[in-house]
Amino acid sequence: MTIKSTYYPHKSSQDLRASLVLFRLLSFPFIVRIAFVFWRFITFFRFPIAPFIRFTGYYQFCAGKDVATCTSITTRMASFRVKSVLDYANEHALSESDFDQNLEVILETIRVAATNDAYPFAVLKPTAIGSFTLFEKKTLGFELSDVELAAWKRIKNRLESCAALAAQSEIVLMIDAEESWIQSGVDALILPLMKRYNKENVVVAITLQFYLKDTLNKYMTLCQNAQGYFLGVKFVRGAYMEKERKRANILRLESPVCNTKMQTDKQFRQALEFALQHLKKQLCIVATHNEADIQWVKETCKQKDISLQDKNLWFSQLYGMRDYISFSLAAEGAHVFKYVPFGPLRQSIPYLMRRAIENSSVKSQTEKERKMLKQELVSRKINA
């Protein structure tokens, strides 16, 4: 009798072997560094990329070049109760035309989500639809010129159009976090949207990065201020730790990053514990690859008689990473979704490089990924 896996049920054995080779390569940081230099070289000289696509990790970390090509993958994952959020992998928007083009793609993901149960969420990165520099000026309190004020209004309108469509489509629009030195400018636009659209249920959800020292206080303030509307929060440790420390060092500022991992862990779990006890008024998205955190959430739910299947409790991991976590959680009845990046290869290279660097820097997780892939392949041979 064949035993169905709960770790990688959506992948063929060939897919698993390809993943195993890739994660083996990612366990060598020097290979990642060489690959980074290589891709910068061929991108700069505009060499054809298509011949190298199999060696980029594109198929591991990206689901397709556009919304339509993601459907087969997201539908298959949904058949195992793992939902998706389509994340447009465009990280270098600089011009108004870029911002408008990104907006159209984001609106397309919202429209698709309105008619497809595989997509309960949509996602938006503020700097994909507005100037990083402008967000920074707003954060620092600089006075904007007439031209900048007009650009700021366009950012506000783009966000408004996404929130309005998400409300109409009855899905949740998650707003990604940005670097600490522009986050206040982002919040100035996002928080009013939460108050306006989250009256009856969560339409707009923010992301909080708990590797920053003041995040627990910020979260508790948000909870206190959420009077008359629902709060939606995606809880993450954070993605810009090295960049934050480097900038603080260059500018001779106190680093905004927690001094120790223990401090990050403590405030991350304190915030989660509060959220778990207030699920009637709050959407809690536990976005982590940390197995200890997930086990802690499960144990906390059991101790406090909180259902792991509560409609306002979700878990999230990145597409192509920690599938054994996502699919085993789904098999237990938890609500789970994958962040599913998509976009043309050349445009996706910065994203792919970040994923490669992330995997090579967290050696223990890469080793665990390889162990689980090997275990799955052996299990399939035994039960074939």
Q: How many CB atoms lie within 10 A of CB 250?
A: 8
The predicted structure's pLDDT at residue 20: 87
Which tens digit of pLDDT belongs to each residue from 58-74? 778 888 899 999 999 99
Tokens at residue 196, please? 């306006």
Is residue 317 assigned to a domain?
yes
The predicted structure's pLDDT at residue 44: 61
- Using CA atoms, how far apart are residues 309 and 335, in angstroms rounded to an integer? 6
The predicted structure's pLDDT at residue 115: 94
The predicted structure's pLDDT at residue 2: 39
- 209: domain CATH number is 3.20.20.220
Q: Name the pTM for this structure.
A: 0.91
Is residue 382 assigned to a domain?
no
The predicted structure's pLDDT at residue 96: 96
Which tens digit of pLDDT belongs to each residue from 9-57? 998 898 888 888 888 877 776 666 666 665 665 566 566 655 555 555 6
Edge-first strand listing for the sheet containing 172-175: 82-88, 335-342, 313-318, 282-287, 231-236, 204-209, 172-175, 121-124
- Using CA atoms, how far apart are residues 149 and 98, in angstroms rounded to an integer? 18
Averaged pLDDT for residues 287-303? 95
Q: Which of 25-39, 266-280, 330-344 is predicted least confidently?
A: 25-39
The predicted structure's pLDDT at residue 124: 95
**Mean pLDDT value across the chain:** 89
In the chain, the percentage of residues whose pLDDT exceeds 70 is 86
The predicted structure's pLDDT at residue 203: 98
Number of domains into which the chain is organized: 1
CB 344 within 8 A of CB 65: yes
The predicted structure's pLDDT at residue 1: 31
Q: What is the residue range of 82's domain?
A: 56-345
Is residue 176 assigned to a domain?
yes
Is residue 30 assigned to a domain?
no
Q: What are the residue ranges of helices labelled H in the chain?
A: 13-26, 29-44, 58-61, 67-78, 96-114, 132-140, 146-169, 180-197, 215-225, 241-250, 261-276, 291-303, 323-331, 345-361, 363-382
Is residue 262 assigned to a domain?
yes
Is residue 48 assigned to a domain?
no
Is residue 276 assigned to a domain?
yes
DSSP one-letter code for 134: H
The predicted structure's pLDDT at residue 113: 97
Is residue 7 assigned to a domain?
no
The predicted structure's pLDDT at residue 30: 67
- Using CA atoms, how far apart are residues 53 and 311, in angstroms rounded to an integer? 39
Residue 362 has pLDDT above 90, yes or no: no
Which residue did the predictor score with more confidence, 48 or 289? 289
Averaged pLDDT for residues 271-297? 96
Averaged pLDDT for residues 193-212? 97
In the chain, the percentage of residues whose pLDDT exceeds 90 is 70
- Using CA atoms, how far apart are residues 375 and 214, in angstroms rounded to an integer? 41
Q: Which of 18-27, 103-112, 180-189 is predicted least confidently?
A: 18-27
Q: Which of 76-90, 172-186, 235-249, 341-355 is predicted least confidently?
A: 341-355
The predicted structure's pLDDT at residue 358: 62
Averaged pLDDT for residues 80-91? 91
The predicted structure's pLDDT at residue 27: 74
